[in-house]
């Protein structure tokens, strides 16, 4: 049975630079990097020291809290550098890729005959476990807890997001194999969402409960979908996988190879030709954007403009990201910018801002904060873009004062930082909502488990 999700509260941020449906195959980068920070909350224990030769899929490090959770190298090559930060924290592991890639063979398996534990073990050893994340806390799933359901969002509503219908085309077999495997991990249902008018390969998969999603962003956020389908209560856990990671899992099951290759959207106004490229997780950004990027005073983001991470041109594609966005930096003053009528920026108010006149217009926004950080003043505006049954400002304030009882009561288990990206975008007081939520969730995880 399908249950449709209609979202009314939200905001579609329309930007210049949507990727054209045209994919080029990028050549192999010379350097790939894995950043343990992409796996929030994981303390890495290094296995592959500097100088070690690794195959694609071979372990680079494992989680200190659970030795079964392995993190693999995306390519075969030599570990050339391990960059450490304060207190010897591992920041980046750089691998120089071999010219011919060698994949570690994990063996072809028949999922139908495997038990839950066997599936788990296979995902552990092959380094595919980190693809499964959990709510609450938005971290790599804890394999010791049983999820009440698994959620897959096949609908991308974030600004300039990669069109999943396009990037997943032709991957039916991999996706179906992966669905068959992950559905063994839960007693509950596997919920899969697609856009209301989508013809995506996802809508042809079996063994899932299909949901058609419509409405503005954040309708594609898995957190919004969970809240609508089966909200998380205290003590419950749900697991979350992205479709592109399911493809990797599927290929592993079918071929025995760990292949972290994906189709990445190059988006934003600073690309001369916004389009798609194929890339392996951890690839050097400049290899993907070569000849296409206007890098002068540009913000490069691995991910989308709302919750992606800033990277330099010589930085690396994030482990989970399927999008690179490049927009102009906004480090300039604007004369009387606070009171003159504004036509070239987005606003949800009409305070001499005129984006409401032309809802279809695409904007070229820069990274200026458009004002200074202030205490919370305006009320009632967050609610207009926040579709969860939660009081966003009250929850943020509870997170700021670290009142654990309040955090729990007001819905702290149900949120992830990305759920607060839109409220952060429209915040008149320019408060760092996602950071507040992330720090609060870390505290809850530490104190409440």
Q: Does 52 bind another protein (CB under 8 A)?
A: no
Window of 37-45, 84-92, 216-224, 340-348 that interacts with another protein by CB under 8 A:
340-348
Structure token digits, residue 321: 């990201």
d(CA 421, CA 437): 10
d(CA 255, CA 381): 50
d(CA 348, CA 426): 7
Q: Does 320 bind another protein (CB under 8 A)?
A: no
Site residues for another protein, 356-385, by CB under 8 A, read: 365-372, 374-381, 383
Taking the least distance from each CB to another protein, the nearer of 207 and 337 is 337
Q: Does 29 bind another protein (CB under 8 A)?
A: no
Q: For residue 333, count other CB atoms closer than 10 A to its CB.
A: 6
Strand 276-280 with 23-25, pairing: parallel
Site residues for another protein, 246-275, by CB under 8 A, read: none
50-87 core/surface letters (b: 16 or more CB in 10 A; e: else): eebebbbbbbbbbbeeeeebbbbbbbbbebeebeeeee
Site residues for another protein, 150-179, by CB under 8 A, read: none
Q: Does 350 bind another protein (CB under 8 A)?
A: yes
Q: Which of 355, 396, 415, 444 binds another protein (CB under 8 A)?
A: 355
Q: Does 409 bind another protein (CB under 8 A)?
A: yes
Window of 207-215, 221-229, 288-296, 346-354 that interacts with another protein by CB under 8 A:
346-354
Structure token digits, residue 309: 């991470």
Hey, which residues does 326 pair with through a beta bridge?
300
Taking the least distance from each CB to another protein, the nearer of 126 and 307 is 307
Distances 289 to 295, 313, 317 between C-alpha atoms, Å? 10, 9, 11
Q: Does 22 bind another protein (CB under 8 A)?
A: no
Q: How far is CA 43 from the centre of its chain?
A: 20
Task: Map residues 215-234 to x or -, x wherever contact with another protein holds by CB under 8 A.
Answer: ----------------x-xx
Hey, which residues does 284 pair with through a beta bridge?
316
Taking the least distance from each CB to another protein, the nearer of 166 and 391 is 391
Q: Which of 47, 52, 139, 428 binds another protein (CB under 8 A)?
A: 428
Instruction: For residue 357, give the 3-state DSSP assignment.
Output: helix
Q: Does 339 bind another protein (CB under 8 A)?
A: yes
Site residues for another protein, 278-317, by CB under 8 A, read: 299, 301, 305-308, 310
Window of 2-10, 64-72, 108-116, 389-397 that interacts with another protein by CB under 8 A:
389-397
Q: Does 86 bind another protein (CB under 8 A)?
A: no
């Amino acid at each position: 049975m399908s249950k449709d999700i209609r979202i009314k509260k939200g905001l579609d941020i329309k930007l210049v630079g949507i990727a054209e449906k045209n994919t080029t195959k990028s050549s192999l980068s010379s350097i790939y990097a894995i950043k343990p920070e992409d796996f929030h909350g994981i303390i890495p224990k290094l296995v592959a020291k500097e100088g070690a030769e690794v195959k694609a899929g071979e372990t680079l490090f494992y989680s200190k809290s659970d030795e079964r959770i392995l993190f693999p190298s995306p390519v075969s090559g030599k570990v050339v550098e391990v960059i450490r930060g304060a207190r010897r924290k591992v920041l980046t592991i750089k691998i120089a890729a071999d010219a011919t890639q060698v994949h570690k063979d994990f063996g072809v398996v028949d999922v139908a005959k495997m038990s839950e534990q066997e599936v788990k073990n296979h995902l552990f050893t092959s380094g595919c476990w980190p693809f499964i994340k959990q709510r609450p806390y938005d971290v790599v799933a804890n394999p010791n807890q049983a999820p009440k359901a698994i959620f897959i969002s096949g609908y991308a509503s974030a600004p300039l997001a990669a069109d999943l219908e396009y990037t997943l085309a032709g991957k039916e077999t991999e996706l179906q194999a992966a669905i068959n495997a992950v559905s063994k991990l839960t007693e509950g249902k596997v919920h899969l969402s697609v856009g209301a008018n989508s013809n995506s390969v996802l809508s042809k998969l079996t063994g899932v409960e299909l949901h058609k999603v419509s409405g503005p962003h954040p309708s594609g956020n898995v957190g919004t979908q969970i809240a609508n389908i089966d909200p998380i209560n205290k003590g419950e856990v749900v697991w979350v996988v992205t479709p592109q990671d399911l493809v990797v899992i599927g290929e592993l099951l079918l071929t025995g190879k760990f292949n972290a290759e994906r189709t990445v959207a190059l988006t934003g106004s600073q690309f001369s030709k916004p389009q798609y490229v194929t890339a392996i997780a951890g690839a050097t950004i400049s290899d993907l954007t070569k000849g296409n990027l206007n890098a002068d005073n540009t913000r490069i983001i691995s991910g989308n403009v709302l919750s992606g991470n800033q990277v330099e041109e010589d930085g690396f594609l994030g482990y989970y990201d399927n999008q690179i966005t490049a927009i102009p930096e906004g480090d300039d003053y604007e004369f009387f910018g606070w009171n003159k009528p504004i036509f070239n920026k987005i606003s949800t108010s009409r305070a001499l801002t005129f984006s409401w006149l032309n809802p279809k217009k695409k904007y070229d926004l820069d990274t200026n904060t458009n004002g200074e950080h202030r205490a919370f003043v305006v009320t009632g505006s967050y609610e207009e873009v926040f579709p969860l049954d939660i009081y966003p400002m009250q929850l943020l304030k509870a997170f700021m004062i670290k009142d654990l009882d309040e955090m729990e009561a007001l819905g702290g288990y149900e949120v992830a930082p990305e759920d607060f990206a839109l409220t952060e975008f429209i915040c008149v007081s320019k408060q760092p909502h996602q950071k507040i939520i992330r720090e609060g969730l870390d505290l809850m995880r530490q104190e409440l488990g």
